[in-house]
Amino acid sequence: MPDNSSHWIGFDLGGTKMLAVVLDEKFKVVGTCRKKTKGHEGMESGLNRINSVIEGALENAGITREQVGGLGIGCPGPLDLEKGVIREAPNLGWEKVPVRKSISEKFGFEVAVGNDVDMGVLGEYTFGAAKKARCVVGIFPGTGIGGGCVMNGQLLTGSNCTAMEIGHIPVTSESGLDRPGVPATLESIASRLAISGAAAQAVFRGQAPNLAEIAGTDLSNIRSAQLAKAIKQGDKVIATIVESAAARLAMGVVTLIHLLAPDVVVLGGGLVEAMPEIYLKTVRQEVDRLVLPSMKDVFKIVQAKLGDDAAVMGAAALARSRFAPQLESIAV
């Protein structure tokens, strides 16, 4: 590693965007670049787009690749952590994508690959709502439901794969929507997509006139901001749908509390950001009702602080801890 490699890059490949952030030795942002992802654009085109975003961030920061100590990237889908390969990213139409190899061959610096939700939880642990916690569990309900855990400063993972797939915990014996013949999972009954489906039915039945005007019945239009606006304008049935989903998510929260005894449970993502009063209140009340009485006072449930920056900050922190462990703790 060159002596002047004092910068770090965090990259978030989750959701609908590609975001790269360049940070200096004090972990202050000095450059960014953002582009939209393109669904099913093909692996080669996608990798080229990733590299172009990194180039844009370097240009925006006014530094060269030789000044970078390493890059961390948060990726969706199941990963091969040892090889730095995305096993599958259904929303992008990718399979067996060698993301680490592509970036390192293009730029010449080290690359740490992790799950995008794990990176978000690591970001909140390092810089945000869960600083200095012994154990933090993060849950991010969105189109799906992702989870992650940092325990004693280390991400909880399998030997060669991610862990904490909370969205795929079976919660009822009834058949679910995500996989035929498989019991319904937390994701299939509590994700934003599940909420949007129920909301669309309410619009069709004439029960949500404000949402009908805002978004209609098209699921692609019924997102967190639109749901929040409809509730604010008086669609009580939409508020009930959101509260019901939050109560179901609380079952997953309680399961993780009983398994891991976290100090802090961080809830983030678009639903929480758009409707924190409704969502957090419902989850807290339901968790308090369901958790073992002896464990009620050992944790707190908080809202994520970093928003879209959580994953890129966590990814950059992972890269620095992986490739420069001799450096002092990051100043935050």
Average pLDDT over residues 110-139: 95
- For the stretch 204-224, pLDDT in tens is 999 999 999 999 999 989 999
Identify the architecture of domain 129-303 in CATH. 2-Layer Sandwich (3.30)
- For the stretch 249-290, pLDDT in tens is 999 999 999 999 999 999 999 899 999 999 999 999 999 999
Residues forming CATH 3.30.420.40 domain(s) in the chain: 7-116+308-323, 129-303
* pLDDT, the chain, mean: 91
SS3 assignment for 293-304? HHHCCCCEEEEC
- For the stretch 285-324, pLDDT in tens is 999 999 999 999 899 999 999 998 999 999 999 999 999 8
When comparing pLDDT for 83 and 330, which is higher? 83
Residue 172 pLDDT: 73
Task: Report CA 12 to chain centroid distance, whole Å.
Answer: 9
In the structure, what pLDDT confidence band is assigned to residue 2 with cuts at 50, 70 and 90? Answer: very low
- For the stretch 41-55, pLDDT in tens is 788 888 999 999 999
Residue 109 pLDDT: 94
- Nearest alpha carbon to residue 199 among 223, 176, 177: 223
Burial zone of 51 (CB within 10 Å; 0-12 exposed, 13-18 middle, 19+ buried):
middle
The neighbouring-strand residues paired with 137 are 149, 265
The neighbouring-strand residues paired with 35 are 18
* Strands (DSSP E) found in 129-169: 135-141, 145-151, 154-155
- Nearest alpha carbon to residue 31 among 305, 312, 322: 312
Task: Report CA 45 to chain centroid distance, whole Å.
Answer: 24
Least confident of 27-31, 110-114, 176-180: 176-180
Q: What pTM, to 2 d.p., does this model score?
A: 0.90
Q: How far is CA 58 from CA 123, 147, 155, 320, in A?
A: 21, 30, 28, 17
Residue 123 pLDDT: 96
CATH number of 7-116+308-323: 3.30.420.40
Residue 33 pLDDT: 97
Average pLDDT over residues 56-68: 97
> For residues 54 and 105, is the Cβ–Cβ distance under 8 A?
no
Residue 1 pLDDT: 41
